[in-house]
Amino acid sequence: MNTGVTEPAPAKVNLYLHVTGCRTDGYHTLDSLVVFAGIGDTVQAAPAGTLSLAITGPEAGSLAAEPDNLVLRAARGLAAAAGREAAATLRLTKRLPVASGIGGGSADAAAALRALGALWGTRTDDATALALGADVPACLACQPVRMSGIGEVLGPVPPIPKLGIVLANPRLALPTPAVFARRSGPFSPPAALAPRWPDLASFVQDLGALRNDLEAPAMALCPPIAEVLSALRALPGCLLARMSGSGATCFGLFATPAAAAAAARLLPAIWWHWGGGVFDAPVRAPQA
Ligand X SMILES: C[C@@](CO)(OP(=O)(O)O)[C@H](O)COP(=O)(O)OP(=O)(O)OC[C@H]1O[C@@H](n2ccc(N)nc2=O)[C@H](O)[C@@H]1O
Ligand Y SMILES: Nc1ncnc2c1ncn2[C@@H]1O[C@H](COP(=O)(O)OP(=O)(O)O)[C@@H](O)[C@H]1O
Q: Which stretch binds ligand Y (CB under 6 A): 13-21, 67-75, 157-165, 228-236?
A: 67-75
Question: Does 53 interact with ligand Y (rule: CB under 6 A)?
Answer: no
Number of shown-chain residues binding ligand Y (CB under 6 A): 19
Q: Contact with ligand Y (CB under 6 A): which of 70, 90, 228, 267?
A: 70
Task: Enter the DSSP assignment of 260.
Answer: H
Whose CB is nearest to ligand Y? 105
Please give the single-letter amino acid code of residue 98: V
Whether 155 has a binding-site annotation, put simply, is no
Specify whether 126 is catalytic. no
Q: Which stretch binds ligand Y (CB under 6 A): 103-111, 186-194, 204-212, 234-242?
A: 103-111
Instruction: Report the C-alpha gap between 202 and 191 in whole angstroms.
Output: 15
Query: Which member of 12, 31, 41, 213 is catalytic?
Result: 12
124's contact among ligand Y, ligand X, none, with CB below 5 to 8 A by partner kind, is none
User: In sequence order, which ranges of the chain are alpha helices (DSSP H)?
Assistant: 70-82, 104-120, 126-132, 136-141, 176-182, 200-208, 215-221, 224-233, 257-264
Percent helix, strand, coil in the chain (nearest 5)?
30, 25, 45
In DSSP notation, 58-119 reads: TTGGG----TTSHHHHHHHHHHHHHTS---EEEEEE--SPSSSSS-HHHHHHHHHHHHHHHH
Q: Which residues bind ligand X (CB under 6 A)?
A: 14, 17, 26-28, 30, 32, 101-103, 106, 133-135, 150-151, 176-177, 180, 245-246
Strands across the sheet containing 164-169: 240-243, 250-254, 164-169, 272-276
Q: Contact with ligand Y (CB under 6 A): which of 38, 105, 170, 217?
A: 105
Give the residue with the Cβ less far from ligand X, 119 or 243: 243
The DSSP H or E segment spanning 236 is none
Give the residue with the Cβ less far from ligand Y, 37 or 239: 37
> In a 10 Å sphere around its CB, with 0-12 CB exposed, 13-18 middle and 19+ buried, how is residue 255 labelled?
middle
Least distance between ligand Y and beta carbon 256 (Å): 26
Least distance between ligand Y and beta carbon 222 (Å): 12
Q: Which stretch binds ligand Y (CB under 6 A): 17-25, 64-72, 194-202, 277-285?
A: 64-72
Instruction: Report the C-alpha gap between 141 and 71 in whole angstroms.
Output: 17
Least distance between ligand Y and beta carbon 142 (Å): 15
Contact 134, 25 (CB under 8 A): no
Whether 106 has a binding-site annotation, put simply, is yes
Annotated binding site for ATP: 97-107
Annotated binding site: 97-107
Chain contacts with ligand Y (rule: CB under 6 A): 63, 69-71, 92, 98-106, 108, 135, 176, 245-246
Which residues have a catalytic role annotated? 12, 135
